[in-house]
């Protein structure tokens, strides 16, 4: 159980690191997914640990749907960026500042 939690937070850390360090929009979306999957493990484990498996799992299923929506929209925007600006580098979407 405790190792499961460690794994979840490890995924969170990897995801955050990815968001921090990656420059490709698609890769950023993947990093976000990693982080969300960490959350998935955490809720399912927590539900299991307190004897409410159904609760944890239904929360997990909902989470899968939700992060899929985020991934789809993120990827769709990435595709549009690529089409319009010809690049997936984060540099092209860093114009709004100040």
Partner 1 sequence: MFNWVVLSIAFPLAGVLLNLALSRRLREPWPGVLATIMVAGAGIAAALTAGALAAEPEGSVITLGSWIAVGDLHVTWALRVDLLSTLMMLVVTLVGLLIHVYSIGYMRGDARFTRFFIYLNLFVAAMLLLVTADNLVVMFVGWESVGLCSYLLIGFWFDKTKGEGWRNSTAARKAFIVNRVGDLGLLLALFMIFWTFKTLAIEEVLEQAAHTLELGAPIATAMALLLLLGVSGKSAQLPLFLWLPDAMAGPTPASALIHAATMVTAGVYLIIRMQALFVLAPAAQMTAAAVGAVTALFGASAALAQTDIKRVLAFSTISQLGFMVTAAGIGSTSAGLFHLMTHACFKSLLFLAAGSVIHALKHHGRQADFDAQDMRFMGGLWRRMPWTFITYWAGALALIGLPPFSGFFSKDEILASAYEYHPAIFILLFAAAFLTALYVARQGLLIFAGRPRSKAAVAAAESERVMIWPLLILALFSAVGGALNLPGNGLLAHWWEESGLPVHEAGFNPTVAALAAAVALAGVGLAWALYGRGKADVSHADPLEKHLGRLFPGIQQGWGLDALSVKAVVYPFNRLGVALSRFDLNGIGGADRGLAHVVGLSAQRLSKIQTGYLNWNIAIMIVGIATVLLLVALWRTG
Partner 2 sequence: MNAALPVGLLTLPLLSSPLAYFVGRFSGRRHGLAQFVALVVLLVAWAMFVAMAGQLAAGETPQFEYGMIAFRLDGLAMYMAALALGLSTLAVFFARQMFQARAGSEKYYAALLALTGAMIGLAGARDLFNLWVWFETMIAASYLLVVIFHDEALNLEAGFKYVVQSAMGSGLVVFGIALILLDTGTLNLDLIAQAAPHSAMAAIGSALCFIGFGVKVAIVPMHTWLPDVYTQSPSVSSAVLAGAVSKAGLVGLLRVTAALSAAIPWADLFMLFGAASILAGNLLAFRQRDVKRLLAYSSMGHLGYVMLGIGFGLHAGQTAGVYGGLFHALNHSVMKGLAFFSIGAALYLLSRPVGREHGLRLDDLAGMARRCPLLALALTLALFSLAGIPPLAGFMSKWQIFAAGLAANSPWVTALVVFAALNSVLSLGYYLPVVNALYREGASEGQTRLPLPRLMAIPLVVLSFLIVLLGLWPDAVRWLVAPASVLGG
Q: Which residues bind partner 1 (CB under 8 A)?
A: 16, 19-23, 28, 90, 93-98
Residues in CB range of 58: below 8 A, 6 or more apart: none
CB of residue 32 vs partner 2: minimum separation in angstroms? 5
Residues in CB range of 76: below 8 A, 6 or more apart: none
Q: What x-and-dash track marks residues 78-97 binding partner 2 by CB under 8 A?
A: x-xx--xx------xxxxx-
CB atoms within 10 A of CB 11: 20
43 binds partner 2 (CB under 8 A): yes
35 binds partner 2 (CB under 8 A): yes
Of partner 2, partner 1, none, which one sits near residue 62, judging by CB under 5 to 8 A according to partner kind? partner 2
52 binds partner 2 (CB under 8 A): yes
- Specify the residue, 28 or 40, whose C-beta has the smaller distance to partner 1: 28
Alpha helix stretches (DSSP H) within the chain: 2-21, 25-49, 53-85
Please state, in angstroms and rounded to a whole number, the distance separating the CA atoms of residues 74 and 72.
5
């Amino acid at each position: 159980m405790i190792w499961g939690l460690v794994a979840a937070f490890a995924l969170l850390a990897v995801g955050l690191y990815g968001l921090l360090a990656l420059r490709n929009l698609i890769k950023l979306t993947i990093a976000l997914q990693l982080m969300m999957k960490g959350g998935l493990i955490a809720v399912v484990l927590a539900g299991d640990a307190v004897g409410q498996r159904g609760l944890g799992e239904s929360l997990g299923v909902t989470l899968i749907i939700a992060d899929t929506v985020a991934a789809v929209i993120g990827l769709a925007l990435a595709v549009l960026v690529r089409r319009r600006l010809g690049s997936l580098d984060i540099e092209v979407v860093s114009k709004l500042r100040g």
